[in-house]
Structure 1
Amino acid sequence: MSPASASADKTERLLNLILALKSARRPVSKQKIRESLPAYAAATSDEAFDRMFERDKDELREMGIPISTTVIDVLFDDEVGYRIDSSETTLPAISFEPDEVAALALAARAWSTASISGAASAGLRKLRLAGVEIDESVAAGAEPRIRTKEPAFEAVHAAVSALQPITFDYRRNDGELSTRHVQPWALKNWHGRWYLTAFDVDRGDERAFRLSRFEGTVRRKGRPGSYAVPSDHVPEVALEAQPPEPVGTAVIRVRHGRGHTLRRNASRTTELDERWAEIEVPYQRGTTERDVVALGTHAVAVSPAELVTGVRAALQAVADAHGGNADAATHSDATGGPA
């Protein structure tokens, strides 16, 4: 079992124990707890169950969750029951400042449609059948879930948790579709969008993928726990290196034989004459300006106005530094390449 999977199982086991003890109106015997909760019922021996249960009790108490122990029958003082008193775990009324309310509202967007998990529900049902009175209101909303509009989210999240390689079809900024084989490292919400950081097996390097660009089904491609995430991996670093999102279309004129980087991303190319061509590319603020400026007199920005202004400002800065002017730097005597 992978470390991530073991941690998830332990978290679910502790949560189910809390629900069982907090939902019961009277103390519950250790035997009924074992019979009712799947993780304890799966214990291979009485000793294994006792060790697991005692460890879990100690951990919950260290977390500040009070578990009371009560003799169930005065005639048999060796049989005790366990319970978590709701009144001892209920917070007093709290007031918030407007900015705190706004932060809570944002957090709530990621915790919508909470429901009790299947394992916990089954455990409470067994306790009820065993004659334990259950308070259903305590269990409401015990399993938070994150809802997203990206169809790939659940499959990718499962792969990240299980450390399991996956393969998927991915559409790049330029619209090209390719199949990627990766080892998922982390899921991160970055500027309102979900991204996967991963090791790209084919390219032999770290990459970041925007979930909304996944096409079709995410396929598992290897065993869970078959790799490890680098201890120094910081998702934000990989996402900072992501190229900016396109904000429209840029029209640029380039000399023949020049601007291969721009031409690769062109959605349309029109030959103007024997020396110039006009191309349309996705406009990425900063990046497109940089690519045009790098070509010097071999490229001319046509639109949008923001691109033209940015290119002219960058060239003017270069011209000022060398005692010239941007108009001279961008002027062309070709009929297809306007100044």
Structure 2
Amino acid sequence: MASDKAERLLNLYIMLLAQTRFVSKQDIRRAHYADYPDTERGDEAFEKAFERDKDDLRELGVVIEVGSLDAFFDDEPGYRISTDTSALPEIRFEADEAAVLGIAARAWEQATLARRTTEAMRKLTAQGVEVDSARLDLVPPSLRAEEPAFDAFWDATQKRRVVTFDYKRPGEQPRKRRLQPWGVVRSSGRWYVVGHDVDRDAERVFRLSRVQGRVSGVGKAGAYDVPPGTDVSAIAANLAPRTPDVEATVLVRQRAGVGLRRRASRVEEDVAGPDEESGWDRLVITGPGSDLAGEVLTYGASVVVEAPEELRADVLARLQAILEQEGVTR
């Protein structure tokens, strides 16, 4: 699946970035590829997957260094990613690949998404490979999904397990629903789960903020298959109302906000910012209001909204909701 590929690329990037020296191909295979079924079929399958993954990362602008494992012998090459030359640019994948990468980047510190990479790090350390977690500052965690149900639905999509939950529409009482979740996706500033409603025998989309109480797994993992060609992002986008476009003025730290800079209609460099930890630029961007609010939040403290006031208030309200969920008072 495309989502497996996207997850594997991100984890390979993080694993190679954390190395202080060159790592052999076989060490990488044992530490990273053993958990992916399509590379367990033998040497040829692994070689093809590894070469393809390296090419895909290089197409994204990642510099993979190749060097000798031994200063006196150069017969076996090793691999690593240098922190001096590597920083992920704007990533362009298919819809489901982009969703996986976006979620993983936003929630790196959550164990549900970091498990495979953490296990790979442990295996490399056991093999005597030096790992420096400080080198992962290039891919820091950002804001977590604010809905409490996010982790449960994400886990169910990975395990292909049916879930039950109470769902409350505006003006109605909560109702019990049974769902085969296909994917979790963000659309128009909201998180949704897309899947097959078991009781209604139909495709459905549920907004996570309307889920009441606990999400419970039912039955065994691997209980169903996602229909071929399913695009959960497109399904959610079709059902989520699109807000009108707004022109926004934002302050962005220098050397940050690559995605915003690519589509800015105007850039004013070296302006006064809210702090002096770095330089700041002022950007003018246009897009749906709710989408812009969600996008700004992914950059954390590196982006500040100046105008319009409605967008600024939306961002502040979402930040306040996250603080309240975490039990932080101001």
Give the conservation status (yes or no) of the 8 Å contact 1:170–1:178: yes
2-side partners of 1:208 and 1:224: how far apart? 17
Contact residue 34 and residue 40 of structure 1 kept, 8 A: no
Q: CA deviation at 1:82?
A: 1.6
What is the correspondence of 1:296-335 to structure 2 with a 5 Å cutoff?
Answer: none
Instruction: Say if 2:153 and 2:215, in contact at 8 Å, map to a contact too.
Output: no
Tell me the residue number matched to 2:262.
none
Distance across 2 between alignment mates of 1:186 and 1:192: 16
State the match for 1:224 in structure 2: 224
Summarize the Cα distance change of 1:58–1:167 in structure 2 as closer, same or farther, 3 Å threshold: same
Q: Secondary structure at the match of 1:81?
A: strand
Task: State which of 102, 106, 118 in structure 2 corresponds to 1:111.
Answer: 106
Pair 1:19 & 2:14 matched: yes
How far apart, in 1, do the equivalents of 2:215 and 2:72 lie? 61
Paired residue type of 1:13: R
Q: Which residue of 2 aligns with 1:128?
A: 125
Evaluate the alpha carbon distance shift between residue 69 and residue 194 of structure 1 in structure 2; reply closer, same or farther with a 3 A threshold.
closer
The residue identity in structure 2 corresponding to 1:180 is R
Per-residue CA deviations over 1:71-114 (Å, capped at 9, x if unaligned) read 333654322222222211159xxxxxxxxxxxxxxx99x93673
Q: What displacement does 1:27 show?
A: 1.6
Asked if the contact 2:156–2:217 (Cα under 8 Å) also holds between the matched residues in 1, the reply is: no
User: Could you tell me the TM-score, scaled by structure 1's length?
Assistant: 0.51
The one of 10, 14, 38 equivalent to 2:5 is 10
Cα distance in structure 1, aligned partners of 2:110 and 2:135: 12
Partner AA of 2:171 in structure 1: D
Partner of 1:260: none
Q: Distance in 2 between matches of 1:169 and 1:125?
A: 39
- Structure 1 counterpart of 2:174, from 147, 162, 177: 177
Matched, 1:28 2:20: no
Q: In structure 1, list runs of 5 or more residues that go unmatched.
A: 92-106, 242-339
Kept in 2: contact 1:171–1:178 (CA 8 A)? yes
Residue by residue over 1:174-193, the C-alpha shift from the partner in whole angstroms, topping out at 9 and shown as x without a partner, is: 34232234454664556655
Matches of 1:87 and 1:141 in 2, distance apart? 10
Q: Is the 8 Å Cα contact of residues 187 and 236 (structure 2) preserved in structure 1?
A: no
Alignment check: 8 A CA contact 1:208 1:239 kept: no
Contact 2:161 2:181 in 1 (8 A): yes
Aligned counterpart, 1:237 = 238
In 2, are the aligned partners of 1:115 and 1:141 still within 8 Å (CA)? no
Check conservation: 2:62, 2:87, Cα contact below 8 A: no
Relative distance call for 1:166 and 1:53 in structure 2 (3 A) is same
User: Structure 1 115/89 Cα, relative in aligned 2: closer, same or farther at 3 Å?
Assistant: farther
Which residue identity lines up with residue 40 of structure 2 in the other structure? A
Q: Is the 8 A contact 1:162 1:225 kept in 2?
A: no
- Cα 1:235–1:138, aligned 2, differ >3 Å: closer, same or farther? same
Give how far 1:137 is off.
0.8
Q: Match for 2:27: what amino acid?
A: K
SS of 1:120's equivalent in the other structure is helix
Distance 1:140 1:150 in 2: 26
The residue matched to 1:39 in structure 2 has which SS?
A: helix
Asked if 1 retains the 8 angstrom alpha-carbon contact of 2:65 and 2:79, the reply is yes
1:154 and 2:151 correspond = yes
Whether 1:84 and 2:85 are equivalent positions in the alignment is no
1:73 equivalent among 70, 74, 99? 70
- The separation in 2 between residues aligned to 1:185 and 1:10, in whole angstroms, is 17
How many pairs align? 221
**Which residue of the other structure, out of 31, 52, 56, is the alignment partner of 1:55?**
52
For the pair shown, which has the larger CA radius of gyration, 1 or 2? Answer: 1
Question: Structure 1 residues 138, 74: closer, same or farther in 2, change over 3 A?
Answer: closer
Amino acid at match of 1:61: R
CA distance 1:229–1:153, change in 2 (3 Å): farther
Question: 1: CA distance between counterparts of 2:48 and 2:25?
Answer: 12
Distance of 1:146 and 1:162 partners within structure 2: 24
Q: Alpha-carbon deviations, 1:274-293, whole Å to 9, x = none?
A: xxxxxxxxxxxxxxxxxxxx
- 1:248-280 per-position Cα deviation (integer Å, ceiling 9, x unaligned): xxxxxxxxxxxxxxxxxxxxxxxxxxxxxxxxx
SS in 2 for 1:88: coil
Shift, 1:160, TM fit:
4.9
Deviation at 1:138, TM superposition (A): 1.1
The worse-fitting range, judged by mean Cα deviation, of 173-182 and 192-201 is 192-201
Residues in 2 aligned to 1:214 and 1:39: alpha-carbon distance in whole angstroms: 36
In 1, Cα distance between the equivalents of 2:148 and 2:133?
32
Equivalent in the alignment of 1:37: 32
Q: Supply the RMSD in Å over aligned alpha carbons.
A: 4.1
Identify if the C-alpha distance between structure 1 residues 89 and 168 changes in structure 2 by more than 3 Å, giving closer, same or farther: same
Q: Distance in 1 between matches of 2:3 and 2:235?
A: 22
Identity %: 38
Structure 2 Cα separation of the partners of residues 136 and 230 of structure 1: 36
